[in-house]
Chains A and B, each alone.
Chain A
Amino acid sequence: MATEYAFPDNAAKTADASQEFQTEKMSVAMGPSHPSTHGVLRLNLDLDGEIVTKCDPVLGYLHRGDEKIAENMTYNQFVPYTDRLDYLAPLANNVAYAIAVEKLANLEVPARCQAIRVICCELARISSHLLGLGAFAMDVGAWTVFMYQFTEREKLYKLFEELTGARFTTSYTRIGGVSRDMPEGWTDRVLAFCDQFLPILDEMLEMLTRNKIFTDRTVDVGIITKAEAIAYGLTGPNARGSGVTVDLRKDRPYSGYEQYEFDVPVGTKGDCYDRYLCRGEEMKQSVRIVRQAIKNMPAGDYYAKDAVRIFAPPKAKVLTSMEELINNFMIVTEGPLMPAGEVYFEAENPKGALGFFVISKGGGVPWRMKIRSPSFCNLSILPKVCQNNLLSDVVAILGSLDFVMGECDR
């Protein structure tokens, strides 16, 4: 019996060009351990060639349940946890949290304490924006700025270390004040830092602003229109880059921001380049604020003295007086006494508006605490802005949005 062989009809197959050259969309998981996703963000991308047709962010890899943790400890015990929200600007988080709880107690801290907090916030902003710029520049291929900004941030960390006792996890504020006053000569060292910082900042920005490679990667890339920025609830430099003039330090001043003179930089186009320019200018404005705050530093206390059931008494008194000793025990074990009620407070953090919503049933422990993190809201626009962009532009967009997963997933 003759064997029948089936030969594939190559000629016919080649002729069927539509089948031969048919392409498929490809799904790519970018992250959670991708260097340009700045932490543990994962993007599920659908690619048509190099073009992103769908971008699906997956969050939650860094979830620690901070909101639930807050319900199980006194207000002061939660301060170290706020360090770990936006861990590039822990001082600013500390301040925002303290002011939120003080608002609940209707407590006004002394002017000196407010000025210290403003300096803290602005130095934290410089530190955060520096890293934002450096990481952004590195993502699009400029290494030098990254090294420069780390040198500058090291100087800032030295200042934080002196002020708070720790470089990174500052835990500086307490409800009703700050943990300790500024050390001797610290303000002079801050001023010295500001003086040498501005020329270096200019040098850094020079390297990017007029750099053809950098502008090629950022100009007209990832455009967010003003309407979109508002619709998606963007805040901070990301909103301002799109021309939205929102800055809580101006709109709803807190901690004495109304006394300081500074400008709010806004972009015109809303592309990555505009967001970068806004951050660069904001650092200069921060230096302005720091200088004014130091120049007009009020004398007085660094904590609210009359809030005896909120701020623990000074050590010397605890060691010598029985009443103060008992009070110390009460504040530590029961927590700072708060009235029942609920309060929402938002502060202009480096990444945007960081909000704390605190519900209290009285006593020293919050009943519920909700944290509105700017990075989380800013990332909501990713699916929209990444669509129909090149894969390599996604990296630039992520860098320009400058988010931190610690606060996004909290």
Chain B
Amino acid sequence: MAVIPVERKPLTFAERTYIPQIISGLKTTLKHMVRKPITLEYPEQRPEIPAGYRGVPTLVYDPNGREKCVSCQLCEFVCPPKAIRITPGEIPSDDPTAHVEKRPEEFKIDMLRCIYCGLCQEVCPEEAIWLQNQFSMSGYTREEMVNDKKRLYELGGTLPDAHFKWDKKKAAEEAGNGHH
């Protein structure tokens, strides 16, 4: 093992007079007086958020306006602090998305419990729940801090979809080669 003993040099006489330190301290101060500030005036200036940031969890629609969540409750299961509560519900048969069978009747995320871990997004088999860019949440009451389904979709909006698996399944069934 390459071991290096750390160097301990005794202070020189000049250093023991405190004077060099005072001078270098003043130099540091002066240098920073003319430097560009490194701080951010927060509420006016916002930090840049990188792609893949784990902000407030939200629910999203696919580009056809279908709510992506099929209420499988996997996110509810995995959420370590148990912040998610889902009430599953059937989709009425006259709905244009009736072929998806299920959607959440109610979907609540308690932002006082959520730890922004991103596991819900990671396990979701429908890419329906996304942690997006918003990082600050505030409210006056506890109830305000629970995001219900309406609010979750407001926050989430629409995200692109690469697969449209439910529409493909429907098309396949209509063409007579579904799996059932």
Contact = CB atoms under 8 A, between A and B. Distances in A.
B1 interface: yes
B174 interface: no
Interface in A164-222: 164-166, 169, 171, 179-180, 183, 206-207, 210-213, 215
B115 interface: yes
A87 interface: no
Interface stretch (A74-82, A106-114, A342-350): A74-82
A113 to B, nearest CB: 17
Contact of A169 (B5, B6, B18, B116): B116
A278 interface: yes
Interface in B16-50: 16-18, 20-21, 24-25, 28, 38, 50
Nearest to B19: A212
Nearest to B161: A319
Given A165-B52, A166-B54, A319-B165, A80 B119 contact: yes
A386 interface: no
A278 B3 CA distance: 11
Interface stretch (A43-51, A261-269, A351-359): A261-269
Interface stretch (A23-31, A328-336, A375-383, A392-400): A328-336
Interface string B1-20: 11111111001000111101
B80 interface: yes
B11 A166 contact: no
A18 to B, nearest CB: 43
Interface string A284-328: 000000000000000000000000000010011011100001001
A80 B24 CA distance: 44
B78 interface: yes
A277 B53 contact: no
B165 A320 contact: yes
A245 interface: yes
A329 B20 CA distance: 66
